[in-house]
Amino acid sequence: MSRIGKKPIEIPKGVTITKNGNVVKVKGPKGELETHFHSKMSVDLKDSQIVVTRPDDSKENKSLHGLTRALIQNMVDGVVTPYSKTLDIVGVGYKAELKGKNLLLNIGYSHPIYFIPPDGVILQTPVPTQIVISGIDKQMVGHVAAKIRSIRKPEPYKGKGIKYSDEHIQRKAGKTAGK
């Protein structure tokens, strides 16, 4: 049995959940999220808990069981406390700044790069070499962070580029001196 899927989801105070067919809507103090789950999974609202059950123990249903429960848990957590990811910019002259809601990146290319965030994602630059991405949708926050990082991935020799704040760049040795 799925260890993740069988755990009930506790609904905190101030969060309302509605289920309509295969759609679950979660509304909380920070916003509202909605997701579609697989028709084989059944989501039941009992007291202040959500329980996800599956019809049988087939391999597909086992994986969908844990996935459905995790997605709903992430929605419940996101509407209470937003998710955030921090990116660090490493390199001489590399910097980021906000122009309204858009992000302006100067990261070693011959031209500046403008990044327009999707709705529901907030970008901040507390210092010019750091970007903080936050929002209530965990998947969207991670996706935006990955897109910004992919503009200039960190290189292994000097570590220049955009990296996650908790990421460690494996360094390579450069060329050795001639004879």
Q: Which of 42, 62, 80 is the last residue before a domain boundary?
A: 80
The pLDDT of residue 33: 94
Question: Model-level pTM?
Answer: 0.89
Q: What is the pLDDT of residues 86-129, one digit of tens each?
A: 999 999 999 999 999 999 999 999 999 999 999 999 999 999 99
- Picking from 158, 91, 167, 95, the residue whose alpha carbon sits closest to that of residue 130 is 95
Domain limits at 49? 9-80
The residues pairing with 87 across neighbouring beta strands, listed in sequence order, are 131, 164
Average model confidence (pLDDT) for the chain?
93
**What's the rounded Cα separation, in Å, for the pair 179 and 177?**
7
Q: 51 and 29 share a domain?
A: yes
Torsion angle defined by CA atoms of residues 145, 22, 60 and 44, in that order, rounded to the nearest 10 degrees: 100
pLDDT at 47: 86
Residue 174 lies in a domain: no
Rounded average pLDDT over 6-29? 93
Please return the burial class of 104, using the count of CB atoms within 10 Å of its CB with bins 0-12, 13-18 and 19+: middle
pLDDT at 178 over 70: no
